[in-house]
Amino acid sequence: GAVVSQHPSWVICKSGTSVKIECRSLDFQATTMFWYRQFPKQSLMLMATSNEGSKATYEQGVEKDKFLINHASLTLSTLTVTSAHPEDSSFYICSARDLSHSNQPQHFGDGTRLSIL
């Protein structure tokens, strides 16, 4: 079945640094990928929709300059948390939809746990 890979799975870094998270669709192409954020014991909140070859669409309240999204190919989207602070610590999950199966649901990656010290 379709697989979405996220890397890294866990990252710890100092406050003020920037962190890049990769989301790859391994066996299908995806013009659209989605980035979610999940706080402990809470639900997933859609942050932005990543569109291949164009600008991402951000949900209300999500800082575009804080969370930079790049979708340079049909199989890779990246989320960069710039100048990360402790309040950015969270579980970030990406998902992607298989282009060739328009009625199929999104496939989720295993998530990236980000801890900012």
Task: Note the residues at the interface with another protein (CB under 8 A).
Answer: 4, 6, 9, 32, 34, 41-46, 49, 91, 93, 95, 97, 103, 105-111, 113
Nearer to another protein, 67 or 92 (CB): 92
96's enclosing H/E stretch is: strand 90-96
Q: Residue 45: which of 62, 66, 57 has the closest Cα?
A: 62
Nearer to another protein, 42 or 83 (CB): 42
Q: Is 49 helix (H, G, I), strand (E, B) or coil?
A: strand
Nearer to another protein, 51 or 82 (CB): 51
Rounded to a whole number of angstroms, the minimum distance from the CB of residue 76 to another protein is 17
Do 36 and 50 meet the contact criterion of CB atoms below 8 Å apart?
Answer: no
Nearer to another protein, 18 or 26 (CB): 26
Kindly state the tokens that stand for 34. Answer: 């989605």
Q: Is 88 helix (H, G, I), strand (E, B) or coil?
A: helix
Rg (CA), the chain: 13
Rounded to a whole number of angstroms, the minimum distance from the CB of residue 83 to another protein is 26
Rounded to a whole number of angstroms, the minimum distance from the CB of residue 65 to another protein is 23
